[in-house]
Amino acid sequence: ANDGTNKNTEIVSQMRTLIESIKQHNYAYYVLDNPILEDSEYDQLRRSLLEIEEEYPDLVQPDSPINQVGDMPLSAFTQVTHDIPMLSLGNVFEYDDLRDFMRRVNDRLSDSQQNPEYEMELKLDGLAVSLKYEHGKFVQAVTRGDGQTGEDITQNAKTIRNLPLWIADAADIELLEVRGEVLMPKAGFERLNRLSEASEGKTFANPRNAAAGSLRQLDPAIAASRPLAFYGYSVNQGLPESIETQSGALAWLTELGFTVSAVEVVANPRAAQTYYESVIEGRADLPFEIDGIVIKVNSLALQQQLGFLSREPRWATAYKFPAETVMTRLNDIEWQV
């Protein structure tokens, strides 16, 4: 019995070390917009913790960040509670995992509903923002924050050039909520870093951090000088009832004047894989950075039926690209052979 206790103490101590480390990196990434680790290294820390938690469910720590979204918002901004929580996405890294994801979807559907249509989008590497429009007028922008509560960044969002401030076609809609990603295109990012290097001697690590830092500038005049763009990816309140699919919702957003991510509808995992591979090939030519594709059940009724797990929808997943460092390592191996 003593051996068991010692073993448990050791496992808990390993968990505590991982938890403290993940918390520190969450703070650097989400609050300071200044990560210390590469994403793949951070993901590895989370995977290690998850593996231990799965093996020792009785020892899971009450403050485990595994089911947590983002981090607490910065106090400099007014905090706003989301009407509907803003969650994260589960992820898969290879074809077999994608098939497992689609199998899990099927397991939860009745026979006649199985093998639903899937809609695929680019996974834009920026930060998630919720926009609200009252009778067509833009009234509020809030960051995802910890998923329940975000930061009110309305003044800065107003300076994003492709964000509609007035939508005549939505004048009859009492409340419209559109969610999407705010990002900084590659060209603008390079220009900003050249200017910032010259004037302040410092640069941003990547376009995502530059976008996050710009959106959370306390001075809207500085935010206005940053080349940000908004890409819509969902309508969370105020969607006309006649629209029954995710692809329909994005087509509607386009009609309202929003820019949306590329969309493709497919019926099976093979077709999804083909799309994924074609996106990887075209990735370098895109004007902005992406870190994968997102695969969503297209029917909104089925999405509702499938619902959510603690921090992610059951009806969608991110199919992530292999980390660049892994690619390099693979190349090295090829050279060595």
Q: Which residues bind ligand NAD (CB under 6 A)?
A: 25-26, 28-29, 35, 37, 39, 42-43, 69, 88-89, 91, 121, 123-124, 128, 144, 181, 233, 261, 294, 318
What is the residue-wise DSSP string for 249-315?
Answer: HHHHHHHHT--B--EEEESSHHHHHHHHHHHHHHGGGSSS-EEEEEEEESBHHHHHHH-B-SSSBSS
Q: How far is the CB of 86 from ligand NAD (least distance, A)?
A: 7
8 Å CB contact between 244 and 180: no
- State how far the Cα of 295 lies from the Cα of 286, in Å rounded to an integer: 19
Minimum Å gap between C-beta 180 and ligand NAD is 8
| Residue (29 or 138) nearer to ligand NAD, CB | 29
* Residue 75 annotated as lining a ligand binding site: no
**Min CB(89)–ligand NAD separation in Å:** 4
40 is in an annotated binding site: yes
The neighbour count for residue 6, using CB atoms within 10 Å, is 10
In one-letter notation, the amino acid at residue 331 is: N
Q: Is 319 annotated as a binding residue?
A: no
Please identify, using beta-carbon distances, which residue of 49 and 69 lies nearer to ligand NAD: 69
* Residue 23 counted as an annotated binding residue: no
Smaller CB distance to ligand NAD: residue 134 or 291? 291
In the bound state with ligand NAD, the residue whose beta carbon lies nearer, of 170 and 253, is: 253
Q: What CA–CA distance (Å, rounded) separates 154 from 138?
A: 9
Residue 251 C-beta: closest distance to ligand NAD, Å: 15
Min dist. Cβ of residue 284 to ligand NAD (A): 18
Nearer to ligand NAD, 106 or 236 (CB): 236
Q: Phi then psi for 11, rounded to 5 degrees?
A: -60, -45
Q: Is 296 annotated as a binding residue?
A: yes
DSSP 29: I
Distance, in Å, from the CA atom of 220 to the CA atom of 208, rounded to the nearest integer, reads 19
137 catalytic? Reply is: no
Q: Is 230 exposed, middle or buried (0-12, 13-18, 19+ CB in 10 A)?
A: buried
264 is in an annotated binding site: no
112-141 burial code (b ≥16 CB/10 A, e <16):
ebeebbbbbbbbbbbbbbbbbbeebebeeb
Please tell me which residue in 7, 23, 123, 158 is annotated as part of the active site. Answer: 123
Per the annotation, binding residues are 39-43, 88-89, 121, 144, 181, 296, 320
Catalytic residues: 123
Per the annotation, binding residues for NAD(+) are 39-43, 88-89, 121, 144, 181, 296, 320
